[in-house]
Structure formats: C-alpha cells, structure tokens
Chain A
Amino acid sequence: MTATVEASETTIRATGSTTAEVRPVRFHQVGKAFGHGRKAVVALEQVDLEVGAGEFVCLLGASGCGKTTLLNLVAGLDKPTTGRIELSSSRPAVVFQEAALMPWLTAAGNVELPLRMAGVPKSARRAKAAELLELVRLGGLGDKRPHELSGGMRQRVALARALASTTDNTGSGAGKPSLLLMDEPFSALDAITRDVLQGELLRIWRATGTAILFVTHDVREAVRLGQRVVLLSSRPGRVVRQWDVDGLSSAEEGGAVDEINAALRKVISSHAAA
C-alpha cells in the first residue's frame, strides 16, 4: 500500500519537473505597483517564477519584499501592473496568516463554505468536509465553534477550508493540478504548535500531492519545508536567488540555513545605505 502511494508520488513530481504544460503557476516578468506616477510604490518588479505540479516552493524575504502581494496576484485578489501570470491549476487555495474562520459557522460549516458557494449539494458537502477535517486530524470536532478551538486547531480548519475551495469546482478544475498558497500561516502560533504543524503540512502535502507556494520570513522554516527556496529582495521585490533544498541531510540543512541567512542579511543591509 505504502509502496504504491510513494511510487505514484514520484511520478507526479517527475512529470512536474520535466513537462512544461502541467506547471500550476508561471510568472512572466510580473510587476506590481501601487499608486501612479512619481508616488507609485513598486512592490514587485520583473518577477519570473514557476511552481511545478506537486512542488513545494518557499518564498523567503524580509518585510516589504512583496511576498503577500505576490500571493494575492496568484490568488486573483489583485491584478499585476505589468507582465502576466499563467495559471493552469484549479482555483488556488489560500491560507492566510490568521485563520480568519467565520465566527458564526462551526468548524465543519467553515470547511463547507466554499462548497456551498460553489453550489455543491448538502450531502456531498458534508462528506467532503468530514473527509478534510479527518485529513487535518480534527475528525469529530466539526461541531465546534472557532472560539472553542485553539490557535493551531483553527489554522488547521483554515487549511481544510482552503483545500475544500480547490478540490471541487464542479468540473472546471477537474484534472488540473492543485495549488495551495500559504501566507506565513504559522507565524502567529507558538513554537511547539508551529513545529507540529510544519510536520502536519508535510504529511498533508505528501498525501494530497498538491503544489504549495509558501511565504515565510523564517529561513529555518523555509529550508525544513520547501524543496526549493526562493529569496526575494525588498522594495521592489525581485527574485535574488534560488536554492534547491530537497533531500538534504540534517548537516547539509544547517549549512543551507546559514548560507541563505547570509544572503538574506545582505539583502536587508543593502537597504541601510539607501
């Protein structure tokens, strides 16, 4: 059983890195400015980036690097000023820094919400929500209200809800690779919970085979989670460098963290002179 799952996962990733047409998202010289003329603030400039099917990419950068802007562009919450974004995934699922659960709905109600808005019938909704809550290990807690859950549990409900928004788009998203966008989802949690949830995320990533674009300012987190770490500069955000951090041993991991940390510090200190 385990063997087959692993085999199918490898095939997904292998195709993802070789064939071009299944890349869930591709940036072509994307730029984004807020405001007009001289006062315009350039958040992103000439960003070229792509995420393969089933790939886990971590976007790393200091404040003001436009990480959140970039995710908003992919999520369709905002439009680029220049360049274009080629999206060939089903609707990207988004997890924000706050869980932002709807306080008037139960945990299950929150997971069902995107399905309800997509017009999925009630019984199918129920089943899907139960399945997703089970995936984030919250099976049986569907009747709880957000205020009755801990911060980590809320963030897992948010993850289940985001997955619900991507999995069922009544056919239009069928067959396309899925994409999960995460905007510093664990930064508001305490250290132990964060550590556990990072492990959970990896488990869910393996189980679902979804591609993940994960924004963080934590180098360790980026190296631990990602297969690839992309460093963005600040104001304007541009891709500075990328590291392949897939399959590192723990010793190599420490080295990678140091190296990326040094690069990040260089980016930050370059702003001190300006």
Chain B
Amino acid sequence: MPQPDSTVQDRVPDDLGSVEAGLDALDTPVNPPESGAGRFISKALPPIVAIALLVLVWQALWAAAFWPEFKLPAPVDVWAQIWELVTTGKIIELFWTSVHRAVIGFAISLMIAVPLGLAIANIIVVRRGIGPLVSGLQSLPSVAWVPAAILWFGLNDRAIYWVVLLGAVPSIANGLVSGLDQVPPILPRVGKALGAGRLGGIRYILLPAALPGFLGGLKQGWAFSWRSLMAAELIATSPDLGEGLGQYLHNGMSLSDISMVFAGVLLIFVVGVGIELLVFRPLENSVLRARGLTRAT
C-alpha cells in the first residue's frame, strides 16, 4: 500500500467524502410518484366495466328468452333474492355460519401446516418421505373426503372441519416449502457469518426471507379452504349444522328456484374474492413493496 505524503492525506478525506456523496446522489434509484386519481382509473375501472358488461350480456340473453325462465333467471330476480336476504337480516346468519367456519378451519390449518412445512423444508428424510404425499394431497379434491368424514364423524361441524383441513393444509405447507426453497442461498450463509445459530437462522433469516412465497401459499390455502367448505356444506346438509351459504345453495336446488341458486353462487363468489381483496392482497402488496418487489399493476 502506498503511503501518501501528509498534504495529500489531509486533503483526501474531504475529497473522498464529497465524491462519495455525489455518487450516492447520482446512483440512488429514483421512483416516479403516482397520482391518486390516475391509479383509480387504471386499476379500479377495468374490473367495474367488465362486470357491467357481463350483467348487460346476461340481461340481453334473458330478454331474448334464449333459455326458459327456470334455467336463466332475470338479473333483477337474483338481485331481489339477495335484497330479501339483506332486509330480513338472513344474510348475516349465512355469512356468519360459513365465514366463521372457514376462518376457524383456516386457522387450524395454519397451525398444522407451518410446522409441517418447516419440517419438510429443513429435514431431508421428512421431505423425501412425506413431501410427495403432501404435494399429491394438494391435487386431490378435498370433496372426495366428504363421504369418509361423514361416516367417521357424523353430520356435524367436525366432519366439515376435517374436509377444510385436508383442503387447506397441503397448499399452505407447500407454499411455505416453496417459499423456503426459493430463499437465495447467500442469505443463510450471510446469517451464519453474522453469528446466527440454527434456530436464530430460521427465525431471523429463513422465515422472513420466505415470507413472499408463504403469503402466496396462504392465499391459495384460503381459496382451498373456502372451496372445500362450500363443497362440504353443499353435500353435508342437516338442520343441526345451521344454514351456511352452501346449505342455502342446496335449498335453492331443492326448491328448483334458479334465482336463489344464482344468488347463492354470487354470494359465495363475493365472500371468496372479498376476503382475498381485503385481507391477502393488501398484505402481499405491503410485503412486496417493502422489498422493492412491486409487481406491475
């Protein structure tokens, strides 16, 4: 290393500091600001227009009397069904019965799936042994478990939860595993160099690093648990079970009331999408934005 003479050495630090500050200012990535109104138009308008078009086509098909009335109801009739549920307050009972089951089922799935996913991702024997099994279960429709669940548990909540669990646990666990697998190998190495032990490495490095993939798994897990729940409610109907959206749909079929069936499908759709938009999407967006991984919107 060359030894600079003293006058140079006196001058150098300040020089270096200002050059460095200049470089920092020039090299720092610049993010263009977004305007609120522009964002609304570009993001919220397309789906609204799409829905409006869909209703329009539906109305036109109904007006053309393409299919008989008992096959395709008028949009107004379906709306009347929903409105009646709202005014009588029955909609709250329907939502409550289904949503609280889905939430409880999802929470239990989470408690089972997280340790399971951690074990599969970190322990080779476990991965080889039950990894394929868990992936396989994900592609098995959980409705297939309804008959077995009814025979084992009878027509009660436990049967329904069993079906929801088998739907949600594999996708949450798989999401966690793929999230952990996609962690860049440099991060755990850095963690080790910074003094992380095995548990510290999992807690401070691996889990936060796997969060985006895990959130994807959660989203999918929610979709699966909602689907499984509706399937279970639709098949396992009994007065003891209370009336959820699935039973409501089933009743519509029994009464041959197509507008009721449409209303049921619509409500199931609204709840499923609503929870994704209100809970999972903001969560995912905030996590991704904090990491500079904002996707094209």
B8 to chain A, nearest CB (A): 11
Q: Which of B106-114, B116-124, B200-208 contacts A (4 or more CB under 8 A)?
A: B200-208
Q: How many residues of B contact A (CB 8 A)?
A: 39
B174 to chain A, nearest CB (A): 22
B103 within 8 A of A: no
The distance in angstroms between the C-alpha atoms of A169 and B211, with both chains bound, is 29
A149 within 8 A of B: yes
Interface string of B33-61 (1 = CB under 8 A from A): 00000000000000000000000000000
Interface string of A133-153 (1 = CB under 8 A from B): 000010000000111111111
B23 / chain A contacts, CB cutoff of 8 Å:
150, 152, 192-193, 196
A273 within 8 A of B: no
Closest A residue by C-beta to B196 = A117
Q: Which of B9-17, B135-143, B150-158, B258-266 contacts A (4 or more CB under 8 A)?
A: B9-17
Q: For chain B, residues 167 to 203, give those with C-beta under 8 angstroms from any C-beta of chain A.
A: 184, 186-187, 189-197, 200
A75 within 8 A of B: yes
A32 within 8 A of B: no
Q: How many A-B residue pairs have CB under 8 A?
A: 119
Interface string of A81-119 (1 = CB under 8 A from B): 000000000011110101010111100000001101110
Q: Is the interface of B mostly helix, strand, loop or mixed?
A: helix
Size bracket, chain A contacts: 35 or more
Interface string of B6-35 (1 = CB under 8 A from A): 000000110011011101100111010000
Is B208 touching A102 in the complex (CB atoms < 8 A)?
Answer: yes
B295 within 8 A of A: no
B89 within 8 A of A: no
Is B209 touching A150 in the complex (CB atoms < 8 A)?
Answer: no
* Cβ-neighbour of B24 out of A75, A94, A152 (below 8 A): A152
A253 / chain B contacts, CB cutoff of 8 Å:
2
* Cβ-neighbour of B27 out of A77, A193, A202, A249 (below 8 A): A193
A93 / chain B contacts, CB cutoff of 8 Å:
193
Is B292 touching A56 in the complex (CB atoms < 8 A)?
Answer: no
Is B186 touching A137 in the complex (CB atoms < 8 A)?
Answer: no
A118 to chain B, nearest CB (A): 6
Is A146 touching B292 in the complex (CB atoms < 8 A)?
Answer: yes
Q: Please give 18 more A-B residue pairs, beta carbons under 8 A apart, in addition to A96-B186, A162-B194, A169-B195.
A: A76-B193, A92-B193, A100-B186, A100-B187, A114-B195, A118-B195, A137-B20, A146-B292, A147-B292, A150-B28, A151-B27, A153-B24, A153-B27, A165-B193, A196-B16, A202-B1, A247-B3, A249-B2
